[in-house]
Amino acid sequence: MKENSGVDSDHILIFEEQALWCRKFELDKWKDFAYVGAPWTAGSGYIRDEWSKIANIGAEYEKSWGDEDGGKGVFKELVVDEIPLVGSDRLTLINRTWIKRAINICPQKQLAQLPQDVVSKKECVATGRPEAEIYFGCVLNGIRAPIPSTFEASLFSAKFYWPDKLIKDEEENSLNKAIVLKHFGNDGVNALQRVRDGKPEVESNPILVPISVQTKHMKINTCPHI
């Protein structure tokens, strides 16, 4: 097979069963993120409990994380309510550079494929077999990897929520407008305003239809018409 120099080989797009492909995917609009998938929110207590089951973090490492480049990122508390866990399966885009960095900083003991003498010296180690969105969601947030907001992730894939359910208060209005402008142009901004005016009909509003919809959880068999 000849190498295609036009392919961005640092990215892997995973598309699984129980997913519908509903509109065009443009890598350029997503390639700056470390990890993109359907958002899911289960409350900070759930995240705290799940992370505490798998994380073994050295006392000196709780406040700051180093990486192989010598940089540091403050590891924010994982109990904050709005931690954007956006890597749910079926349709997922991952950046291999960031994924490798996460594994090197806080490897999963059994699955990291690193020598055990290397793993044993890490200040952060995950044990057990955590769900990917818990593991990567927490570690990538901790090292300040670029993660989309829950609203932007909902434009990528839907597992539990249509995008209109994740449009929040007026404080985020300008951010949401910038996100919609990036993906849909001015027509999308006008569509966003219709959502904010309380007219969020999926069939007539393009910003409410993600690239992929997961059939089982969203309880649909065909993509909404756009």
Question: According to the 3-state scheme, what is the secondary structure of 172-189?
Answer: HHHHHHHHHHHHHHHHHH
Residues contacting 171, CB < 8 A, separation 6+:
none
End-to-end CA distance of the chain: 37
**Contact by Cβ (8 Å): 79, 42:** no
What is the per-residue pLDDT across 99-153, written as a single tens digit (0 to 9) for each? 998 888 888 877 788 888 888 877 777 877 777 777 887 788 777 788 888 888 8
- 163 or 87, which is more confident: 163
**Which of 214, 165, 222 lies closest to 37, judged by CA?**
214
Using alpha carbons, list the distances in angstroms from residue 1 to 5, 7, 141.
12, 13, 37
**pTM of structure:** 0.79
Q: In 10 A of CB 5, how many CB atoms?
A: 6
Cα distance between residue 121 and residue 41, in whole Å? 33
Could you tell me the pLDDT band of residue 182, with boundaries at 50, 70 and 90?
very high
| Maximum CA extent, the chain | 58
Residue 198 above 70 pLDDT? yes
What is residue 75's predicted lDDT score, i.e. its pLDDT? 44
- Give the amino acid at 140: L
Residue 177: count of CB within 10 angstroms of its CB: 15
